[in-house]
């Protein structure tokens, strides 16, 4: 049974501008060490991870200021290369009892898109 669906689109230039303007302060506040190692400063990769975090919160029915830190939502890759979420802290607690979390990422025309489905 589907418990929640979240969809988000992020303009890549918005993340690139935040990175230029705020630098490490922005990056360290939003992304985990692992995400930064994989994404580096590539705008498209950072934007897709940001979109995934927001899509996850939407699937939970929560906003970005819900008390769950964006760093508690980590985008990682499976051995197949497919993206998935690794949750920590309050994000993990919020999904207790869920049977699955599905993540899809895409990029097109200067935007990154993410869809999250929570299965219960």
Which pLDDT score is estimated for 107?
95
Instruction: Please state the pTM of the whole predicted model.
Output: 0.94
Nearest to 100 by CA among 4, 31, 14, 8: 4
Pick the catalytic residue from 11, 71, 102, 107. Answer: 107
Which pLDDT score is estimated for 97?
92
Fold exhibited by the domain 2-119: Ribosomal Protein L22; Chain A (3.90.470)
Please give the average pLDDT of every successive group of 10 residues along the chain, which has 120 residues: 98 98 96 94 95 98 85 97 97 95 97 98
DSSP 43-67: HHHHHHHHHHHHHHHHHHT--TTSS
Domain locations in the chain? 2-119
11 among known catalytic residues:
no
107 among known catalytic residues:
yes
């Amino acid at each position: 049974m589907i418990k929640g669906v979240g969809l988000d689109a992020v303009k890549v230039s918005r993340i690139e501008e935040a990175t230029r303007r705020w630098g490490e302060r922005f990056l360290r506040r939003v992304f985990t060490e692992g995400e930064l190692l994989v994404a580096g400063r590539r705008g498209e990769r950072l934007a897709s991870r940001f979109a995934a975090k927001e899509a996850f919160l939407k699937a939970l029915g929560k906003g970005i200021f819900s008390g769950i830190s964006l760093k508690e939502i980590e985008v990682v890759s499976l051995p197949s290369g497919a993206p998935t979420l690794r949750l920590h802290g309050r994000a993990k607690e919020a999904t207790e009892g869920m049977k699955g979390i599905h993540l899809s990422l895409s990029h097109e025309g200067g935007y990154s898109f993410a869809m999250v489905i929570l299965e219960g």
